Structure 1
Amino acid sequence: MKKKKTLYMLLILLFTASLFTPNVVEKDVYAANLPQNMQAAWIATVYNLDYPSTQNNMASQKNEFIQKLDKLKSIGINTVVVQVRPKADAFYKSSINPWSEYLTGVQGKNPGYDPMDFMIKEAHKRGMSFHAWLNPYRVTMPGSGISSLSKNHPARLHPDWVLKYNDALYYNPAVEGVKKHIVDTVVEIVKKYDVDAIHFDDYFYPSNYPLPQGQGKDGSVANSRRQNVNDMVKRVGKAIKSTKKNVLFGISPAGIWKNKESDATGSNTLGNECYYSVFSDTRAWIKNGWIDYIVPQIYWETGNKAADYETLVKWWSNEVKGTKVKLYIGQGIYKNVVANQIDTQLQINKKYSQVGGSFYFSLKDLLSDKTNCKDKIKAFNQNKSQGSNTNTSNKSSQNKVKTGIVTASVLNVRSGPGLNYSILTTVSRGARVTILGSKNGWYNVKLSSGRVAWVSMSYVKVN
């Protein structure tokens, strides 16, 4: 009798649990699925390089960003990487870092709106991903000291966190308070904003920051510096995933890890080695899976004697092979020689299956069509279906607009028609979506929020 009662109670528990368990919509519903065919543009805000061109003018800044997005989308760019923390400040409402001076001309001054919230919503309306680009350590540009910072700037409140080199200030990567501050900064963004990724650039320790006398580039001090950076990267990656699993973490290092003359496993090049110059061990980040994607800045042309383009693409492809880290290539179209041969470089990328797309620098050079690079990139995207996610629907399914109702408990909303595209958000059972088109078992839909994206046909009932 006791055994029957125990079995009965167990069956009730299992039945009850099934009532509250979400449908398994896809494999690993909440895991970050890395996007394929990334076509991204870096938008630099430091010195107002790319944006905004006017300060202290909300309407002008909004209009300018919208225009830039529309131009990028027409080229086939599906991801914007916006520098929201150019120098330990913020293009967003923060309780940790002061407002950026590049918004108003005065650090700490409220611009009257939340620029990042606005930018994310505008990007998502167009089916574009938004990566929040942060420089983790830079505090000032050369020529500016502590007194130039706003009164509430963390570096001013904690001068022991700061080191000075070449007339500029940086957070000291060895300080525990700095590591925690960077993690807290990232977590604040991930919690408060609908970002698709956190993105770091190529600056870590100040470039060629001198070692103490008697220390070598592979000595104890150099190794401890690399460990400091590694610790920060590892902690940031872990913090992102524990906050929102679907948010990606990517880093764009300099294009050379080590030259072959320094390490037999390095690339057959003779350029600046990020392992030594800024103490960043990119191999460790990849092999340990601390990041989701890497974007080496291979800013050289094919045939360059010191750093041939394809030599480096091949080397980085081998680095990520067998790992979960996705590889994209940083394309230096700010250089005339690279902009001129960008079509050749994109064809080279296609030869290597590990390459999942490109990030272009700079935005100004892309939009100004330096040596016809914009038209070449647009043609490449159109020919290889690597452009706008919202323009890939079958014509036959666009003739009549229909409404669908989500039937799954939790349904992933993706940036493109397939499991390899990134998860932008989720919707619940009963949600209504406007069906704009379809492709390969996926609906191109417009959500109630206005966002345009993709969902699996299997979990949408058409009215």
Structure 2
Amino acid sequence: MTNYKDAILFIWILLLSFSNSNAQELTNNPKNEFRAVWIATVVNIDWPKSGNDNVAKQKADYLEILDTYKKLNYNAVIVQIRSVGDAFYPSKLAPWSKYLTGKEGKAPSPYFDPLEWMITEAHQRGFEFHAWLNPYRATMNLKTNELSPDHDFFKYPEWMIKYAGKYYYDPALPEVQNHLTAVVEEVVTNYDIDAIHFDDYFYPYKVPGEKFNDSASFQKYGNGMTLEDWRRSNVNEFVKCISISIKNIKPWVQFGISPFGVWRNKSVDPKGSDTKSGQTNYDDLFADPMAWMQYKWIDYLIPQLYWSMDHPTASYSKLLRWWSENSTNVNVYIGNGSYKVNADSDKRWNNPKEIPNQIDYARSFKNIQGNAFFSAKSFLNKNQSVTKLLMENQYQYPALTPVVANSVRNMVIVPTVTNVLSDPISSRFTVQYPMYSKVRYLMVYGAEFNAKIDSNDATQILDKIPYKTNNDTVEVTIPAYKIDKNTKYAVTFIDYYGNESEATEVNFTL
């Protein structure tokens, strides 16, 4: 029965790939595809495993995550660096996180800058580093005695709204928006990140019997709007300001948001999805991804479709199709709920092919360009039946992240290869860092059995080498056992936006 169902699903996906105007031919090994994992730090979900762990253990645990997902051919990490008005980095605007050091406001000992170190380690392994911040959530509970004196709760109590056992920043206050924008600007200015990332927490999810009491702000700033339109306007203005600020500082740094998976239900709005979600972005969180895409305030969107393919209330397949048909101007990736594998009341998640099938379905739509998975611990020494399928099928070969939306351009520069040397142990060559251009990586390709070099072929990717700060050159070493006299090699540049140069071939003589 299981094999029969899998066959039907496969045929269904193939038919969709031909029949849907938004679909493309199913690609087994895409050259460019976003493959990300969220690394959640709040309440130590993924990392660190405990705020009381020593620095050496914390570093080892982080590297274990990177190395695990490197082997799975992922290419991006979305790391939570601010979750409750705190920081995983030295900041003038927030105290050190208790999830890092066990006590809010306490610095790491021995001292180091965790964010700088995490970015460096991620880049060395070829990952994009997306710095994930929760802007509006100020605390996870009401235990304010555990907060640092430097927390905004004490510095700016007038900014706080108590709701459902937590404190939140009031999104309507101009001073709050200015402060949170400064938080983002501090990170963008001081760190070599690839993106700023927000998740689905804007106005908080509705809780029965609770009221988010922003009536004073509404009375002062409402300007004749309905409460709902005013709240959406507050979020839109904030998203717009963050976008402008990022691009003014570093135009190549992306701004991405992963909203809740349902914009609106069709029962409320004919433009909505065929779902029966109890809460939605537009009506409950006062977040409007349609506006963010329309005005190009973001570079990518990752709707969180944390349901199974055929979920009766919110079907992954129906929602993915809806986002494909209603997305524009940005890169669109899909958020997958890997945390549900073998751990959910929906028994479809017990099927190890659920995630692989979801990836295949996403690939059948030409404007869906990859996936992100919540969260890191899901595949960390767990659910090996799923990771085995991914390694043997969907993620058998590496892939490059897509070019930043609206930043596609031809790279005039090409690598110049010098100092080509061979000996019985290895072959080596050097590539000079180009002048007047920002290059992030050097890509190395190899074609076996005298085949033609094709830098568009993911199966030919051999390595992705980062240029280190203040280094003018990069040396590439290929062990002798990998080099056949008929094998060809080539190198390309990848710039900070993800654009790739033409290839330069490298010839070894043994």
C-alpha displacement at 1:457, in angstroms? 5.6
Q: Say which of 267, 270, 276 aligns to 2:273.
A: 267
Aligned pairs for 1:369-380 (under 5 A) are 369-370=382-383, 372-380=385-393
Change in Cα spacing, 1:435 to 1:267, as seen in structure 2 (3 Å) is same
Instruction: Look up the match of 1:403.
Output: 430
CA distance in 2, matches of 1:100, 1:406: 38
Instruction: Look up the match of 2:93.
Output: 96
Instruction: Look up the match of 1:38.
Output: 34
CA contact (8 A) 2:493 2:501 kept: no
C-alpha displacement at 1:455, in angstroms? 6.6
Change in Cα spacing, 1:455 to 1:290, as seen in structure 2 (3 Å) is closer
C-alpha displacement at 1:64, in angstroms? 1.2
C-alpha displacement at 1:51, in angstroms? 0.5
Change in Cα spacing, 1:346 to 1:187, as seen in structure 2 (3 Å) is same
Q: Deviations over 1:276-303 (max 9, x none)?
A: 1211111111111100000000011111
Aligned pairs for 1:28-427 (under 5 A) are 36-56=32-52, 57-111=54-108, 112-145=111-144, 147-208=145-206, 210=211, 220-271=226-277, 272-321=279-328, 323=329, 325-336=330-341, 337-338=348-349, 340=351, 341-370=354-383, 372-383=385-396, 385-386=398-399, 400-414=427-441
CA distance in 2, matches of 1:138, 1:222: 19
Q: Deviations over 1:164-196 (max 9, x none)?
A: 101210001001111011110000000000111
Q: Say which of 423, 440, 443 aligns to 2:492.
A: 443
CA distance in 2, matches of 1:181, 1:343: 42
Instruction: Look up the match of 1:20.
Output: none
CA distance in 1, matches of 2:166, 2:502: 54
CA distance in 1, matches of 2:182, 2:466: 23
CA contact (8 A) 1:127 1:415 kept: no
Question: What is the one-letter code of the residue matched to 1:72?
Answer: Y
Structure 1: gaps spanning 5 or more residues? 1-34, 390-396, 446-452
CA distance in 1, matches of 2:435, 2:504: 6
C-alpha displacement at 1:404, in angstroms? 1.9
CA distance in 1, matches of 2:138, 2:442: 34
Question: What is the one-letter code of the residue matched to 1:248?
Answer: Q
| Corresponding pairs, count | 409
Q: Deviations over 1:136-185 (max 9, x none)?
A: 1111113433x432111122110011101012100010011110111100
CA contact (8 A) 1:414 1:455 kept: no
Instruction: Look up the match of 1:450.
Output: none
Question: What is the one-letter code of the residue matched to 1:434?
Answer: E
Moved more, 362-371 or 302-311: 362-371
C-alpha displacement at 1:41, in angstroms? 0.6
CA distance in 2, matches of 1:319, 1:369: 35
Change in Cα spacing, 1:361 to 1:333, as seen in structure 2 (3 Å) is same
Q: Deviations over 1:336-361 (max 9, x none)?
A: 33473111111101110111111111
CA contact (8 A) 2:264 2:280 kept: yes
Per the normalisation by structure 2, the TM-score is 0.73
CA distance in 2, matches of 1:297, 1:385: 24
Q: What percentage of aligned pairs have identical amino acids? A: 37
Change in Cα spacing, 1:288 to 1:199, as seen in structure 2 (3 Å) is same
C-alpha displacement at 1:113, in angstroms? 1.4
Question: What is the one-letter code of the residue matched to 2:101?
Answer: T
Instruction: Look up the match of 2:14.
Output: none
Change in Cα spacing, 1:49 to 1:211, as seen in structure 2 (3 Å) is closer
Q: Deviations over 1:21-55 (max 9, x none)?
A: xxxxxxxxxxxxxx941110100111111000133
Tell me, yes or no, if structure 1 residue 456 matches structure 2 residue 461: no
Q: Residue 82 of structure 1 aligns to a residue in which SS?
A: strand
CA distance in 1, matches of 2:274, 2:48: 40
Moved more, 426-435 or 148-157: 426-435
C-alpha displacement at 1:369, in angstroms? 3.1
Change in Cα spacing, 1:171 to 1:455, as seen in structure 2 (3 Å) is same
CA contact (8 A) 1:42 1:363 kept: yes
Change in Cα spacing, 1:339 to 1:348, as seen in structure 2 (3 Å) is farther
Q: Residue 255 of structure 2 aligns to a residue in which SS?
A: strand
C-alpha displacement at 1:213, in angstroms? 13
CA contact (8 A) 1:339 1:373 kept: no
CA contact (8 A) 2:276 2:313 kept: yes
Q: Deviations over 1:307-350 (max 9, x none)?
A: 111111111112224x2x10010000111334731111111011
CA distance in 2, matches of 1:402, 1:425: 15
CA contact (8 A) 2:161 2:212 kept: no
Change in Cα spacing, 1:255 to 1:290, as seen in structure 2 (3 Å) is same
CA contact (8 A) 1:52 1:61 kept: yes
Q: Deviations over 1:64-88 (max 9, x none)?
A: 1112111110011111111100111
RMSD, matched Cα: 3.6
Question: What is the one-letter code of the residue matched to 1:113?
Answer: F
CA distance in 2, matches of 1:431, 1:255: 44
Structure 2: gaps spanning 5 or more residues? 1-30, 219-224, 342-347, 403-421, 445-454, 457-463, 479-486
CA contact (8 A) 1:412 1:455 kept: no
C-alpha displacement at 1:399, in angstroms? 6.3
Change in Cα spacing, 1:387 to 1:374, as seen in structure 2 (3 Å) is farther
CA distance in 1, matches of 2:87, 2:185: 14
Question: What is the one-letter code of the residue matched to 1:103?
Answer: L
CA distance in 2, matches of 1:387, 1:373: 22
Q: Deviations over 1:77-134 (max 9, x none)?
A: 1111111001110001111111000111110001121111110000011111111010
C-alpha displacement at 1:400, in angstroms? 2.1
CA distance in 2, matches of 1:135, 1:180: 15
Change in Cα spacing, 1:371 to 1:403, as seen in structure 2 (3 Å) is closer
CA distance in 2, matches of 1:213, 1:238: 27
CA contact (8 A) 1:407 1:429 kept: no
Per the normalisation by structure 1, the TM-score is 0.80
CA distance in 2, matches of 1:38, 1:406: 26
